[in-house]
Structure 1
Amino acid sequence: MLDRNIGKIHFINRIDKDNVGDWICSPLNYFYDYFKKYNLIRHDIDFIDWNEIQREDIVIVGGGGLLYVTETFNLSINKLLQKCDTVIAWSVGFNTHGEQWSNGNNFPEIPLDKFKLISIRDYEHPSNLEYLPCPSVFALPSPDSVSVDIKRKFGLIGHKDLSVNLDNLHIEAISNSSSINEIAEFILSSEAVITNSYHCAFWTMLLRRKAIVINKFSTKFDYYKYQPEFVTVSKNDDSTTIKEVLEAAYGRAKIYDAAYAEAVNLNNDFFEKVKEIIFEKGIKEGNDYQHLYELNNSSLWNTQNELKKIGRICIRLEELQNNINDLHDELYDVINNLHDELYGVNAQLKEEISSGRFIKKALAKKILGKGD
């Protein structure tokens, strides 16, 4: 067995095969040719192998909206900062959801100053942290190198966990569970993309198409550097109203020629900073300890948070069971006491009755005797 204390590099993000943005946002996907010479472990933030992470290792968290989205994500990041001296955040995002997700909004604070190096995908965020677009830019073709025929004015890419119902408008649709190649082709063959997926809006703008975000549900939509158009529609809106809203948004939406190249350049620059830290840390080369597993059982979003809810329910059930047991014991004691009391009363009555009969017999004999 290999020594866990050898210097390792860990990559941690949300691994969800059914959400292509989560699936491909790790920088390991795009810089593996460099990192492959080191001992590597990739973790899902919901399934971190804590026994593998040592103080002298390097942990790279990101990308994806991992900050202030669930209590358990924050707790995991804080534990990483406590357990390892060199934690790097690569294009992580703030991502507090709306009430319909039931993730809460009271999260443990993350000491952001404890990161060795940190970048966020949120532009001009109040934290004033370094801005870095998602490294998934490298999964897309350069808009300068592709030419795709336009097939539709509007295309719809829905988030797998939050449906958008525009059926009455007969807009061709796919979901963010499609492959990145399918999504890129769909974007390029559309004049504009309507979506409620952060990454799909991001990729649309990188590929120089108009992006329209419909019914945003998280703070992650508030900090794009290059802004999509935002619209809100309700189930009570008729088709004519929704179509008018979308047409107006289409007219306002912009094409961003510089977005793709900027995202590539900024990620390459950040990569150089990461390489400097690896060099300074003195991580030895050696690739005989690599676990780049893909968690096939992790398609449920936010698994650990859901398990924590189940845990709280189990604790409550245990408390209720204990209360039931206590009530059972109390009831058993009451029944026993009543039984003893009844037994005593019954015995006393029997004694009194028995004594009464004896007296009657004695009196009867005495009277009869006198008569003789």
Structure 2
Amino acid sequence: MPEIFVVHRRDPHNIGDMACPPSDHVEHFPWLADATTIDIEHDIPRYADRLRHAHVIYGGGGLLGTGFFDRQLDHLLSLRPPKLVVWGAGHNNNERHSIEELQVLDRFDLVGLRDRPGPGGREWVPCTSALLPELDDPGEPRHDVVAYRHRDRKLPFPADLAEFPMLTNGHHDLGETLDFLASGEVVVTNSYHGAYWATLLGRRVVVVDPFASKFHGFRHRVPVVDGRDWRTALADTRTYPDALRECRAAVLGFGDRVRELFGR
């Protein structure tokens, strides 16, 4: 039986990257217990001989239409693995902020995108981190507003948010990160997973100073605004009480289809 590989971006300084592979959830997907999880940026050449004969899951994370992972994805596709699946990956273009259909997706056997259905009508399958048990009981907010920023200090972020509790996606403890997001009635962020997890925790969200297409594909829509306008955008925020249930159902249902495709 072919090996299974999970290919995504494994940046140890970005907690969203590290929390998004399906192979982190073997309690739900025991057939992934022996999967090999590798980094899209560095590991394709190293594992090329094995990838030629493996079933491959591409995702999660912002891996599509990026420009900076195109060469690595082309290399992976050139190896012609027996089965190729996109699972919970999404668009992430820093130049064009629209969600566009990508012809490269036609080269996969099964595609589930974390972006809401758009061009091409691809199936919506959110990040598998929706299965994290820490999302189950967020408790009551302790602050009116918290700020959760991308660790890249070169990215713009509203200076007036410095008066509120703040954390970055470079924080390494996932439990502490989710507790921080849950502590705010409103989460103001320029992090994809900050917005995603805050929504699943039942919090209101404002995305500020979007720098890539990924912020325009949320199934559960949130205001996406210039950082100067975050206070005005509060009037457009809402909670999604069914978001966690909907995301988990979509992830588990898609997992069943991947298992069947892989013959597991």
- TM-score bucket of the superposed structures, by smaller chain: 0.7 to 0.9
- The aligned residue for residue 122 of structure 2 is 129
Aligned to 1:204: 198
Q: Is contact 2:187–2:198 with CA below 8 Å preserved after alignment? A: yes
Residue number in structure 2 paired with 1:138: 131
CA drift of 1:22 comes to 0.5
Determine whether 1:62 maps to 2:62.
no
**What SS does the corresponding residue of 2:218 show, helix, strand or coil?**
coil
Per the alignment, residue 246 of structure 1 pairs with 230
Any idea what the Cα deviations from partners look like across 1:301-320, whole Å, max 9, x if unmatched?
xxxxxxxxxxxxxxxxxxxx
Q: Which range moves more in the overlay, 184-193 or 161-170?
A: 161-170
Determine if the alignment matches structure 1 residue 96 to structure 2 residue 93.
yes
- 2:7 matches 1:12: yes
For structure 2, the residue ranges without an aligned partner over 5 or more in a row are 97-101
Number of the residue aligned with 2:145:
154
Among 19, 23, 35, which residue is 2:18 paired with? Answer: 23
Gaps of 5+ in 1: 1-5, 100-108, 234-241, 284-372
Map of 2:167 onto structure 1: 174
**What letter is aligned with 2:74?**
N
d(CA) in 1 for partners of 2:103 and 2:40? 15
Matching of residues 26-65 of structure 1 within 5 Å:
26-31=21-26, 34-35=30-31, 38=34, 40-47=35-42, 48=44, 49-65=46-62
Normalising by structure 1, we get a TM-score of: 0.63
Structure 1 residues 146, 215: CA separation in 2 closer, same or farther (over 3 Å shift)? closer
CA contact (8 A) 1:14 1:46 kept: yes
Post-superposition Cα deviations, 1:94-116, rounded to whole Å, max 9, x if no partner, equal: 110049xxxxxxxxx75311211
1:136, distance to aligned residue in structure 2 (A): 1.1
Compute the displacement of 1:165 (Å): 4.2
Task: Map Cα deviations across residues 20-64 of structure 1 (whole Å, 9 max, x no partner).
Answer: 1111100000136613554x3221001222434343310111000
Alignment of 1:294-305 (within 5 A): none
Q: 1:76 aligns with which of 72, 76, 83?
A: 72
Q: 1:56 to 1:190 in 2, by over 3 A?
A: same
Kindly, what percent of the aligned residue pairs are identical?
27
Which of 253, 271, 277 does residue 255 from structure 2 map onto? Answer: 271
Q: Secondary structure at the match of 2:244?
A: helix
| Cα distance in structure 2, aligned partners of 1:54 and 1:137 | 28
Counterpart in 2 of 1:183? 177
Number of matched pairs: 252
Distance 2:33 2:208 in 1: 43
Q: 2:212 aligns with which of 213, 218, 221?
A: 218
1: CA distance between counterparts of 2:59 and 2:111? 10
Q: Which amino acid aligns with 1:78?
A: D
1:289 paired residue number: none
Which structure shows the higher helix fraction? 1
CA offset at residue 85 of structure 1? 2.5
RMSD: 2.1
2:23–2:32: 8 Å Cα contact kept in structure 1?
no
Between Structure 1 and Structure 2, which shows a larger proportion of strand residues? 2
State the 1:13 CA deviation: 0.4
Cα separation, 1, equivalents of 2:188 and 2:106: 37
Residue identity matched to 1:34? P
Matched residue, 2:99: none
Sort the Cα spacing of 1:19 and 1:140 in 2 relative to 1 into closer, same or farther, 3 A.
farther
Aligned to 1:353: none
- Kindly name which structure, 1 or 2, has the bigger radius of gyration based on alpha carbons: 1
Residue 168 of structure 1: CA displacement? 6.8
- Could you tell me how far 1:140 is from its partner in structure 2? 5.0
Letter in 1 for 2:39: D
Residues 295-334 of structure 1 aligned to structure 2 (within 5 Å) = none
